[in-house]
Structure 1
Amino acid sequence: MLKVENLHVHLNTPAGVVKAVDGITFNIQPGETVGIVGESGSGKSVLAHSLIRLNPEPPAVYPDGEIYFEDRSVLHMNKKELQTFRGKEIAMIFQDPMSSLNPVIRIGRQLTEAILAHRKISKSEAKKKAIELLNDVGIPDPAVRMRSYPHQFSGGMRQRVLIAMALASEPKLLIADEPTTALDVTIQAQVLDLLKSIQQKYGTAIMIITHDMGVVARLADRIMVMYAGKIVESGKAEDIFYHTSMPYTWSLLRSMPVLGSTRHRLISIEGQPPDLINPPKGCAFQPRCPFAMEDCAHSQPALEPRSEAHHLAACLLSESAFEEKKNQMKGVLSS
């Protein structure tokens, strides 16, 4: 359904050219849930916005690569084609619901406008559909809450409204950009369960972008790990969590809190993400990697298959060497 080939996205700034997305290739099948994880600044949101051309142009340019949605080139669409494409084929749930909703317009009007933008139906039919969508996303008394303003909803309820708006035209792909960041843990779980139920009802493919490994563990079939504008590991959820083959992914997992652990403090990833204006010549993670070798500073590893055909990792270490180094690290930490 969605095919991204060798995509490069550069941002022209006064300080220089930021290589926000640097040669990414992947695809998404109908009904699939794909998670994209990584630290802030790894290029996740720029990649997501590129899929529907939401990055301001300029400063954003696409010097190489292609994005195909059902064999149509997104990068070659004109403004009119993009207006029809956005929302109807691919919809997006943004990170902050309060800044995404107009504070002085009632929820019902905002939702019916989203429906009318892509469907040739009457206002009364759009209103009925809006009430149905609010009911689908778990808003109580949807007919009454249509007259409410955004500030009269809780954070979790506003996020549900955004999901309803994204579903207004029954898109084939739903991009959720950090949909649970501003929510407490209980509401996070409710929103993730809601996305699952929506997918089952509408058959929508989902791309979820987050820095929280726990979120993708709960929702994603397949996970792509991003660092410095590149995919550094990709595979099924069980491969990423139980057969990690890239030190950056391992470091992300190691930094997660573990229920019942006797560890007194969280383990962070030392150092800072690289400067994407002047990225390192070799592996971008090398300055922060606890297993870095001399070759890592000079050779940029390719994303290559591991023992499982669909499990890819960009690391000069072989699987066996990486496992040995991980075991050595565990021994040092336990002692």
Structure 2
Amino acid sequence: MLEVKNLKTQIDTDAGIVHAVDGVSFTVEAGQTVAIVGESGSGKSVLAHSIMQLNPKPPAFYPEGEILFEGKNLLKLSEKELRKIRGNEIAMIFQDPMSSLNPVFKIGDQLVEAILTHQKMSRSKAKDRAIELLKDVGIPDAQARMHDYPHQFSGGMRQRVLIAIALACNPKLLIADEPTTALDVTIQAQILELMRDIQKKYGTAIIIITHDLGVVSQMADKVLVMYSGRIVENGSVNDIFYRSSMPYTWSLLRSLPRLDATAHERLINIEGQPPNLVSPPKGCNFHPRCPFATEKCLAVDPQLTVRGEDHWAACILSQQEFDEKKEQFRISEDKRGVPIHD
């Protein structure tokens, strides 16, 4: 359904050209859920906005690459052609529902507007469709709540309304950018369950962008790990969680809080800071923070290489070398009395 080929998204700033997305390639199949994970600043949201062509041009520009949606290169389409695809075939759920919903219009009016923009139907039928959508996303007393304003809904209910607006035209691809970040864990679980139910009902493909690996484990079929604008590992949930082949992915997993941790165990963080995307480091972008870095990492810019069936990682270490390094690191931490999380 979607094929991104060697996409580069650059942003012209006063400090220089920011290489926000740097040679990203991946595919999304019909009905599949693909999770994009990484630290803040890794390029996840810019990648999502690039697919939707929502990055302002200028300062954003695309020196290389293709974004093929059902064979059409979105980078080559006019704004008028893109408007037919946005909302109608590809929809997006943004992170903060309060800033995405217009506070001076009723929820029902905003839903009806989204439907009428893309669908040829009467206003009365659009209103019926809006009520049906609110019911689908679990809004109680949907007909009455059509007349309420965004501030009259809780955070979780506002997120449900955003999902309803995104589903207004039965899109083939739904992009969810941190859809549960501002919600408590109970509401988060409800929203994720809702997205799964919607996917089963409509057969929608989903790209979910998150830094929460717990969400990934529940939702994803395939995982893309991003670092400094690049995909550094790509594989199934089992590959990423149990057979990670890139030190950054392994470091992310080790930094997760654990329910079985004892009171004296500290949270293991990734040392250092993400690189400056105006002037990335030479060689491997992760080498200044990597516990396994060698002098070769300063000279070689690793590309994604096959580590298994549908599993790729960008690291100069072979899987055997990586496993040996992890074991040596584990022994070293054990001697220093550092809690072992692997």
Q: TM-score range by the shorter chain?
A: over 0.9
Q: Which runs of 4+ in 1 moved over 6 A?
A: none
Which whole-Å deviations, capped at 9, do the CAs of 1:114-160 have from their partners, x for residues lacking one? Answer: 01111000111001100110000011110011111101111010000
1:322 corresponds in structure 2 to 322
2:120 corresponds in structure 1 to 120
Which whole-Å deviations, capped at 9, do the CAs of 1:76-129 have from their partners, x for residues lacking one? Answer: 110110111101111000000000000111100000100111100011100110
**Which segment is superposed worse, 262-271 or 104-113?**
262-271
1:53 corresponds in structure 2 to 53
State how 1:152-191 maps to structure 2 within 5 Å. 152-191=152-191
Which whole-Å deviations, capped at 9, do the CAs of 1:147-202 have from their partners, x for residues lacking one? Answer: 11101111010000000000001000000000011001111111111100000000
2:129 corresponds in structure 1 to 129
2:339 corresponds in structure 1 to none
| Ranges in structure 1 where 5+ consecutive residues have no aligned partner | none
Offset of 1:10 from its aligned partner? 0.4
1:203 maps to amino acid: G
**Secondary structure of 1:287 counterpart:** coil
Offset of 1:5 from its aligned partner? 0.6
1:175 maps to amino acid: I
Instruction: Give me the whole-angstrom Cα distance separating, in 2, the residues matched to 1:83 and 1:66.
Output: 18
Instruction: Give me the whole-angstrom Cα distance separating, in 1, the residues matched to 2:228 and 2:319.
Output: 22
Supply the RMSD in Å over aligned alpha carbons.
0.8
TM-score by length of 1: 0.99
2:32 corresponds in structure 1 to 32
2:255 maps to amino acid: S
Which whole-Å deviations, capped at 9, do the CAs of 1:278-312 have from their partners, x for residues lacking one? Answer: 01110000000001111001100010101x12100
Q: Work out whether 1:94 is the aligned partner of 2:94.
A: yes
Offset of 1:334 from its aligned partner? 2.9
Offset of 1:2 from its aligned partner? 0.4
Which whole-Å deviations, capped at 9, do the CAs of 1:224-271 have from their partners, x for residues lacking one? Answer: 000011000000000000001000000100000111212522111111
Offset of 1:316 from its aligned partner? 0.7
**Identical-pair percentage:** 65
Instruction: Give me the whole-angstrom Cα distance separating, in 2, the residues matched to 1:295 and 1:36.
Output: 28
Offset of 1:52 from its aligned partner? 1.2
Instruction: Give me the whole-angstrom Cα distance separating, in 2, the residues matched to 1:310 and 1:215.
Output: 21
Offset of 1:14 from its aligned partner? 1.1
**Secondary structure of 1:68 counterpart:** strand
Q: Work out whether 1:269 is the aligned partner of 2:270.
A: yes
2:88 maps to amino acid: K
1:142 maps to amino acid: A
1:199 corresponds in structure 2 to 199
2:12 maps to amino acid: N
Instruction: Give me the whole-angstrom Cα distance separating, in 1, the residues matched to 2:320 and 2:191.
Output: 39
Instruction: Give me the whole-angstrom Cα distance separating, in 2, the residues matched to 1:260 and 1:45.
Output: 32
**Secondary structure of 2:17 counterpart:** strand
1:16 corresponds in structure 2 to 16
**Secondary structure of 1:25 counterpart:** strand
Q: Work out whether 1:279 is the aligned partner of 2:284.
A: no
Q: Work out whether 1:304 is the aligned partner of 2:289.
A: no
Instruction: Give me the whole-angstrom Cα distance separating, in 2, the residues matched to 1:223 and 1:260.
Output: 25
1:71 corresponds in structure 2 to 71
1:52 maps to amino acid: M
TM-score by length of 2: 0.97
Instruction: Give me the whole-angstrom Cα distance separating, in 2, the residues matched to 1:11 and 1:217.
Output: 32
Offset of 1:74 from its aligned partner? 0.2
Instruction: Give me the whole-angstrom Cα distance separating, in 1, the residues matched to 2:298 and 2:190.
Output: 44
Offset of 1:313 from its aligned partner? 0.1
Instruction: Give me the whole-angstrom Cα distance separating, in 1, the residues matched to 2:309 and 2:104.
Output: 52
1:169 maps to amino acid: C
Which whole-Å deviations, capped at 9, do the CAs of 1:54-82 have from their partners, x for residues lacking one? Answer: 00000000000111101111001101101
Offset of 1:326 from its aligned partner? 1.2
**Secondary structure of 1:288 counterpart:** coil
Instruction: Give me the whole-angstrom Cα distance separating, in 2, the residues matched to 1:328 and 1:161.
Output: 50
